């Protein structure tokens, strides 16, 4: 509500593959020029499921950051950092845990789902139960407006909203709130204070949502308000108390879904991936040996693209003309499968070449990567400090 800030994180699970790229990172690259973005490595979240393999965390972290940079995440536009370098995330997690009903966490669908799916792992820990609460702290600490994530994470963002609402409800009702809000409005100058009061009335008396939007826009523009006053005015607008934490919205990734080489979801555990920066030779070999419609045993057998994983690659990588050529050629047995795969191979390699080039610079000089996350960490920390000052004060922990 301050700026339309975007926050997202990713667990460091090793080198990224093209499924990650098309499912998430490509979207981040687009967002970084449209919004102020913070992207971070969720290394604590990785420990919730992999606490027993600390030796791989660090390598995975650096590999992943290099993959982001290779994919086109630009540290001059987006803030990149590592979660554990901003311990305030953990502080906020602890403070939020005080007001989080246990049932809210037990009810998050991923909690039981993952326990069933990953039954070989020990997920009976407190950390795992708290996973979505830590995630809430990750986002709320930056007062983010949008969280770009996949479908599976929607309940986590819903939890963030509930937590923010509860926090504001419990701690935003300071004594003398209305008087403080009116005094804050005056600080905008009498003309703007009057406009604010009019818009607030229109919203509260007639439910006029355009007036609400206009009033919010007015507040966003005010440079001379303190954070506390701004929170009061946002809260006063809607009739509650101060809005100390912002309720974020999910920003669903309309992902062009790229399946794995065998048509299942692309995933390291299925051994069906193409690495983001994988060697051209190896990529070519993998695509050439991809399974196709099993009905095409001989070159002369017609096929059905709907039964072929290569077709899914065409849907992501080919233009209409090439798709029409492949579909027609497949159904009529006019082309062979290797022929059909060639434009896909070309397109994948063309996508990867600039990524490998960008990565090389960072592989040659790892201090570049260290500096990028150090800088990003500093920027993130500044924002986190601002929120934590408010949160501590609201919870009676400021000891001034
Ligand atoms: N849980 C997310 C995932 O598995 C990763 C994550 C951690 C995250 N913290 C976040 C995503 C905050 C968005 C915002 O993909
Ligand atoms: Fe798949 Fe193309 Fe072969 Fe058809 S021609 S089965 S779409 S690879």
CATH number at residue 147: 3.40.50.620
148 lines ligand 1 (CB under 6 A): no
Angle made by CA atoms 184, 190, 194, in degrees to the nearest 5: 85
Q: State the distance from the centre of ligand 1 to the C-alpha of 254, rounded, in angstroms.
A: 17
Q: What is the mean pLDDT of residues 46-51?
A: 91
147 lines ligand 1 (CB under 6 A): yes
Q: Which residues line ligand 2 (CB under 6 A)?
A: 292-293, 296, 303, 305, 308, 310-311, 326, 330, 335, 337, 340-341
pLDDT classification of 52: cutoffs 50, 70, 90: confident
Which ligand lies nearest the alpha carbon of 322?
2
Q: Judge whether 221 lies within some domain.
A: yes
56 with 165, same domain: the answer is yes
15 with 162, same domain: the answer is yes
89 lines ligand 1 (CB under 6 A): no
**Res 253: pLDDT:** 79
Would you state the torsion angle of the CA atoms of residues 102, 106, 109, 110, taken in this order, to the nearest 10 degrees? 100
Angle made by CA atoms 244, 32, 161, in degrees to the nearest 5: 30
- And the tokens for 337? 């499968």
5 lines ligand 1 (CB under 6 A): no
Ligand 2 atom 7: residue of nearest CA: 305
357 with 233, same domain: the answer is no
Q: What is the mean pLDDT of residues 46-50?
A: 91
pLDDT classification of 256: cutoffs 50, 70, 90: low
Q: Judge whether 271 lies within some domain.
A: no
Q: Judge whether 244 lies within some domain.
A: no
Q: What is the mean pLDDT of residues 123-141?
A: 96
16 with 163, same domain: the answer is yes
pTM above 0.85, yes or no: yes
135 lines ligand 1 (CB under 6 A): yes
**Res 283: pLDDT:** 98
- And the tokens for 371? 């500096």
Q: Judge whether 334 lies within some domain.
A: yes
Nearest to 38 by CA among 125, 140, 113, 116: 140
26 with 88, same domain: the answer is yes
Q: What is the mean pLDDT of residues 112-129?
A: 89
Q: Judge whether 45 lies within some domain.
A: yes
Contact 233, 184 (CB under 8 A): yes
Contact 249, 145 (CB under 8 A): yes
**Res 2: pLDDT:** 53
47 with 166, same domain: the answer is yes
CATH of the domain at 333: 1.10.240.10
Closest ligand 2 atom to 293 CA: 6
Q: What is the mean pLDDT of residues 130-147?
A: 98
Q: What is the mean pLDDT of residues 10-27?
A: 94
β pairing state of 37-41 and 79-82: parallel
38 with 155, same domain: the answer is yes
162 with 45, same domain: the answer is yes
Contact 24, 159 (CB under 8 A): no
Q: What is the mean pLDDT of residues 71-92?
A: 98
Contact 232, 180 (CB under 8 A): yes
98 with 221, same domain: the answer is no
Ligand 1 atom 13: residue of nearest CA: 8
Q: Judge whether 269 lies within some domain.
A: no
23 lines ligand 1 (CB under 6 A): no
12 with 72, same domain: the answer is yes
**Res 205: pLDDT:** 87
Q: State the distance from the centre of ligand 1 to the C-alpha of 108, rounded, in angstroms.
A: 14
Q: What is the mean pLDDT of residues 67-91?
A: 98
| 149-198 per-position pLDDT tens digit | 998 899 999 999 999 999 999 999 888 888 999 999 999 999 999 999 99
Please, is 92 exposed, middle or buried when counting C-beta atoms within 10 Å of its C-beta (0-12, 13-18, 19+)? buried
19 with 124, same domain: the answer is yes
Q: Which domain holds residue 317?
A: 277-363
139 lines ligand 1 (CB under 6 A): yes
Q: What is the mean pLDDT of residues 242-266?
A: 90
For the chain, how many structural domains are there in total? 3
User: For residue 96, is pLDDT > 80?
Assistant: yes
Q: Judge whether 251 lies within some domain.
A: no
318 lines ligand 1 (CB under 6 A): no
Q: Which residue out of 12, 42, 89, 90 has the highest number of ligand 1 atoms within 8 Å of its CB and is therefore the one to mutate?
A: 42
- And the tokens for 397? 């922990």
User: For residue 400, is pLDDT > 80?
Assistant: no
Q: Which residue out of 10, 39, 163 has the highest number of ligand 1 atoms within 8 Å of its CB and is therefore the one to mutate?
A: 10
For the packed helices 366-394 and 154-171, what is the interaxial angle rounded to 10 degrees? 40
33 with 80, same domain: the answer is yes
Q: Judge whether 399 lies within some domain.
A: no
* 358 vs 242 pLDDT, higher one: 358
pLDDT classification of 255: cutoffs 50, 70, 90: low
**Res 175: pLDDT:** 83
Q: Give residues with Cβ within 8 angstroms of 338, minimum separation 6.
A: 288
Choose the final residue of a domain: 210, 237, 264. 237
The residue assigned the tokens 């099993």 is: 294
Closest ligand 1 atom to 134 CA: 9
* 50 vs 35 pLDDT, higher one: 35
User: For residue 1, is pLDDT > 50?
Assistant: no
Which ligand lies nearest the alpha carbon of 28?
1
């Amino acid at each position: 509500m301050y700026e339309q800030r975007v926050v997202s994180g990713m667990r460091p699970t090793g080198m990224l593959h093209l499924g990650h790229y098309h499912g998430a990172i490509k979207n981040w690259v687009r967002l970084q020029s449209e919004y102020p973005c913070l992207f971070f490595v969720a290394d604590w979240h990785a420990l919730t499921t992999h606490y027993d393999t600390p030796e791989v965390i660090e390598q995975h972290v650096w590999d992943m950051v290099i993959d982001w940079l290779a994919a086109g995440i630009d540290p001059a536009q987006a803030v990149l950092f590592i979660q554990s370098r901003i311990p305030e995330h953990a502080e906020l997690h602890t403070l939020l845990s005080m007001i989080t009903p246990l049932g809210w966490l037990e009810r998050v669908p991923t909690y039981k789902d993952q326990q069933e799916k990953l039954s070989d792992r020990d997920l009976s820990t407190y950390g795992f139960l708290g996973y979505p609460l830590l995630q809430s702290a990750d986002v709320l600490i930056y007062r983010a407006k949008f969280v770009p994530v996949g479908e599976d994470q929607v309940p986590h963002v819903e939890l963030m909203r509930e937590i923010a609402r509860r926090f504001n409800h419990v701690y935003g009702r300071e004594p003398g709130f209305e008087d403080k809000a009116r005094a804050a409005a005056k600080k905008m100058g009498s003309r703007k204070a009057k406009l604010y009061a009019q818009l607030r009335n229109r919203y509260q008396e007639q439910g006029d949502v355009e007036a609400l939007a206009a009033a919010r826009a007015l507040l966003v523009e005010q440079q001379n308000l303190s954070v506390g006053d701004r929170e009061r005015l946002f809260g006063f607008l809607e009739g509650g108390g101060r809005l100390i934490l912002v309720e974020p919205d999910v920003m669903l990734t309309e992902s062009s879904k790229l399946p794995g080489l065998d048509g299942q979801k692309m995933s390291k555990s299925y051994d069906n991936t193409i690495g983001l920066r994988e060697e051209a030779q190896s990529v070519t070999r993998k695509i050439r040996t991809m399974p196709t419609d099993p009905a095409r045993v001989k070159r002369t057998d017609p096929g059905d693209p709907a039964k072929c994983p290569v077709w899914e690659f065409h849907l992501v990588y080919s233009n209409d003309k090439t798709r029409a050529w492949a579909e027609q050629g497949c159904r009529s047995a006019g082309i062979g499968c290797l022929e059909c795969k060639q434009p896909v191979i070309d397109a994948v390699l063309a996508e990867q070449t600039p990524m490998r080039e960008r990565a090389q610079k960072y592989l040659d000089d790892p201090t570049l990567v260290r500096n990028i996350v150090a800088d990003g960490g500093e920027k993130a920390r500044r924002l986190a400090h601002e929120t934590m000052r408010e949160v501590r004060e609201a919870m009676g922990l400021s000891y001034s």
